[in-house]
């Protein structure tokens, strides 16, 4: 499965004037949770995930708990926040591009500009790990990262991800 298969253009955002600047790790995780919530189609612990704050808060909690274990900033200006969600039916992805890099406590100490998040069901650990590896391979090319970060909006960035995956890079 490719990353673009768990992603839609509505789950890709470029932080800035139109979408609002993201200045901190906490703000980035909340924005990613909001984007992920748009793609979640199931309930958690008997609660419906659709709605103005329910899914976002639950997903944000999962992402923050994962970050407490160790930063998902993998280096090269990239972070891959991820986690599992009780009751989720499938994996969902989101991308947040931050032209104004943020401190994410990345492994290389460098600020982060590209954040790709994944949330998935607890029963699909293997699929989850494969998706994280796929995202890592997709973003290992510095040229692609630069082009992606220059995208003027989420739709353009989504189309770039689709095209890159079709090229067979990941």
Residues 125, 130, 131, 137, CA torsion sign: positive
Helices (H), 38-153: 54-69, 125-138, 142-149
Q: Are 11 and 93 in contact (CB under 8 A)?
A: yes
Question: How close are the terminal C-alpha atoms of the chain, in Å?
Answer: 10
Q: Which residues contact 5 (CB under 8 A, 6 or more apart)?
A: none
Task: Please say whether the beta carbons of 133 and 127 come within 8 A.
Answer: no
Rounded Cα distance, 81 and 141, in Å: 19
Catalytic residue, candidates 25, 31, 82, 134: 82
CA-based nearest residue to 63, from 37, 90, 101: 37
128 catalytic? Reply is no
Question: Catalytic site residues?
Answer: 82
């Amino acid at each position: 499965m490719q990353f673009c298969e768990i992603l839609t253009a509505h789950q890709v955002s470029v932080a800035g004037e139109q979408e609002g600047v993201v200045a901190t790790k906490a703000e980035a995780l909340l924005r990613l949770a909001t984007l992920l919530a748009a793609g979640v189609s199931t309930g958690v612990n008997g609660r419906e995930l659709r709605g103005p704050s329910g899914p976002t808060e639950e997903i944000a909690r999962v992402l923050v708990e994962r970050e407490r274990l160790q930063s998902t900033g993998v280096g090269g200006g990239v972070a891959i926040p991820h986690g599992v969600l009780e009751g989720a039916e499938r994996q969902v992805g989101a991308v947040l591009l931050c032209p104004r890099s943020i401190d994410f406590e990345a492994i290389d100490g460098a600020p982060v500009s590209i954040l790709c998040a994944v949330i998935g069901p607890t029963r699909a650990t293997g699929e989850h790990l494969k998706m994280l590896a796929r995202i890592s391979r997709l973003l290992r090319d510095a040229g692609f990262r630069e082009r992606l970060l220059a995208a003027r909006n989420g739709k353009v960035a989504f189309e770039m991800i689709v095209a890159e995956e079709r090229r067979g890079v990941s």
